[in-house]
Amino acid sequence: MNTAHPIDLDSYWMPFTSNREFKRNPRLIARAEGVHYVTPDGRRILDGLSGLWCCGAGHNRSEIADAIAAQARELDYAPAFQFGHPKVFELASRMRELTPDGLDRVFFVNSGSEAADTALKIARGYWRQKGLPGKTRLIGRAKGYHGVNFGGMSVGGIGGNRKLFGSTPETDHLSHTLLPENQFTRGQPDHGAHLAEELEALVALHDASNIAAVIVEPFAGSAGVIPPPKGYLQRLRQICDQHDILLIFDEVITGFGRCGARTGADFFGVTPDIANFAKQMTNGSVPMGAVVVREEIYQTFIDTGGPEYMVEFPHGYTYSGHPLACAAALAALDLFEREGFDRQVAEKAGFFEDCIHGLANHPHVTDVRNLGFAGALTLEPYPGEPARRPYEVAMYCWQRGLYLRYGGDTVQFGPAFVMDKSDIAEMFNIVGDALRAA
Ligand SMILES: Cc1ncc(COP(=O)(O)O)c(C=O)c1O
């Protein structure tokens, strides 16, 4: 028991947290208001990452809170298997409308990690049902993040997240696109489309008859905001088409506003065969995710499903399409459309870009990257300790009233879509001071 603190901090094994350091130096959040958090002792903290990239509408939106409360009184839970409730169907149609044409069938999950593993299972099952059982290999990308379950982790490419656990067989990886010649680029870099050709090399190595799918984030988020080189995603799409490989976009960060468009697919003009969503769907209020697939993928399972009373896709979660999550998502997507979060981001992205690139000449900054309302700084490592300086910068910011994310050798920014220019400027002023102090 940590006797220095009034609550028991010991029992909770915190996720993706330096437990020893946190429990010595707790950073507790008690409440939220708009784009701020409030600590138990009443300090206001500007939220520089929309929670964890998920609260773009700002916190505690009454429209969402009311919808969740009303739903909890009307129907708290309905069995997800073999029975349904009206809101889950309503939400699926809404997702279909809001995602690119051609992505027409919606499978609900509870997180980005579950979305990743669900999409990978759909890809393998699809090829089996089409009589091509050899197409099993799953291709990810270095520096990719697709959550922490076995499939997503195995196609993910952040070493620290994998080395303790091993990975599932039959995966491989493209190189990442973080090239030195693109340092300090605003938005999408000019160099690096050629890296998509590595997919041709993997086809030559494994043969397309053994490859089920390629999964990438439209821009890599967790590795520190790595926008795709111009033409890169288009070329991946072409190679996938040429070799009958499914293209999966993990839109868990890019979906519903972050890029300044409805989805990353819309922003970059490339439609995948399968798109994963989570975070922004409910504005972070209730866990939920979705996998949206092409009609023909769904129909393949339906057509090969055996007698009508049989389950066509033996997959799902007790909480798939949970009524509270559906109510929250419908309210959050109403807000998305009514308040035009994609438009708001598109309008303010230039200001965000100017502010973050204003830090380019500050001490220790070795790269600045941005797209829409997402940005990251790479910081010069201490010898042998790349993660230390971002931690120090983040701790300074926390003391000064700013929450930002630190990971690897980067600090990351993903403000709420509703954050105004003065708060954006304030955020980067604090970071500037932190870099000078570091
Ligand atoms: C692109 C991407 N995929 C998947 C995930 C995992 O989502 P979750 O933490 O909800 O499982 C994340 C989380 O940051 C993500 O950014």
Q: Which atom of ligand 1 is nearest to the CA of 111?
A: 10
CB neighbour list of residue 214: distance below 8 Å, 6 or more residues apart? 139, 140, 174, 199, 236, 240, 245, 246, 247, 248
Q: Tell me the average pLDDT across 31-54.
A: 98
Q: Which atom of ligand 1 is nearest to the CA of 221?
A: 16
Has residue 247 got a pLDDT over 70?
A: yes
pTM: 0.98
Looking at residue 24, its pLDDT comes to 96
Q: Is 287 in the pocket of ligand 1 (CB under 6 A)?
A: no
Residue nearest to atom 3 of ligand 1 (CA): 146
Looking at residue 5, its pLDDT comes to 65
- Cβ of 95: how many Cβ atoms within 10 Å? 23
Q: What order of strands is seen across the sheet that includes strand 103-109?
A: 103-109, 289-294, 274-277, 246-250, 211-216, 137-141, 171-174
- The encoded tokens of residue 71 equal 């739903």
Q: Which tens digits make up the pLDDT trace of 416-432?
A: 999 999 999 999 999 99
Among 26-30, 165-169, 224-228, 290-294, which is the least confidently predicted range?
165-169
Q: What is the DSSP letter of 34?
A: B
Q: Is 110 in the pocket of ligand 1 (CB under 6 A)?
A: no
What separation in Å is there between the alpha carbon of 269 and the centre of ligand 1? 22
Fill in the amino acid letter for 421: K
Residue nearest to atom 8 of ligand 1 (CA): 112
End-to-end CA separation in angstroms for the chain: 33
Q: Which atom of ligand 1 is nearest to the CA of 278?
A: 10
Q: Which tens digits make up the pLDDT trace of 127-153?
A: 999 999 999 999 999 999 999 999 999
- The encoded tokens of residue 211 equal 């490859």
Q: Using the structure block, give the residue that is written with the tokens 């910068």.
A: 393
Has residue 320 got a pLDDT over 90?
A: yes
Q: Are 232 and 198 in contact (CB under 8 A)?
A: no
Q: Is 252 in the pocket of ligand 1 (CB under 6 A)?
A: yes
Which of these, 97, 124, 167, 157, lies nearest to 336 by C-alpha position? Answer: 97
Burial class (CB in 10 A: 0-12, 13-18, 19+), 42: exposed
- Cβ of 402: how many Cβ atoms within 10 Å? 23
Q: Tell me the average pLDDT across 384-404.
A: 97
In order, the DSSP letters of 380-428 are PPBTTBTTHHHHHHHHHHHHHTEE-EEETTEEEE---TT--HHHHHHHH
- The encoded tokens of residue 137 equal 């290999």
User: Cα(343)–Cα(262) distance, rounded to whole angstroms?
Assistant: 9
Looking at residue 6, its pLDDT comes to 77
Question: Hey, where are the domains in the chain?
Answer: 19-61+340-437, 65-339
Percentage, residues of the chain above pLDDT 70:
99
Assign domain 65-339 one CATH number from 3.40.50.300, 3.20.20.70, 3.10.20.30, 3.40.640.10. Answer: 3.40.640.10
19-61+340-437 with 65-339: one CATH topology? no
Q: What order of strands is seen across the sheet that includes strand 405-407?
A: 365-371, 374-379, 410-413, 405-407
Q: Are 430 and 401 in contact (CB under 8 A)?
A: yes
Q: Phi-psi category of 202—alpha, beta or left, where left has phi over 0 and alpha has psi -120 to 50?
A: alpha
How is domain 19-61+340-437 classified at the CATH fold level?
A: Aspartate Aminotransferase, domain 1 (3.90.1150)
Q: Which tens digits make up the pLDDT trace of 151-193?
A: 999 999 998 899 999 998 999 999 999 999 999 999 999 999 9
Has residue 313 got a pLDDT over 80?
A: yes
What separation in Å is there between the alpha carbon of 342 and the centre of ligand 1? 20
Q: How far is CA 282 from CA 61, 80, 163, 414, in A?
A: 11, 19, 32, 17
CB neighbour list of residue 2: distance below 8 Å, 6 or more residues apart? 8, 9, 10, 23
Q: Which tens digits make up the pLDDT trace of 43-95?
A: 999 999 999 999 999 999 999 999 999 999 999 999 999 999 999 999 999 99
Q: Is 153 in the pocket of ligand 1 (CB under 6 A)?
A: no
Q: Pairing state of beta strands 137-141 and 171-174?
A: parallel
Has residue 2 got a pLDDT over 70?
A: no
The residues facing 110 across adjacent strands are none
Q: What is the mean pLDDT of the chain?
A: 97
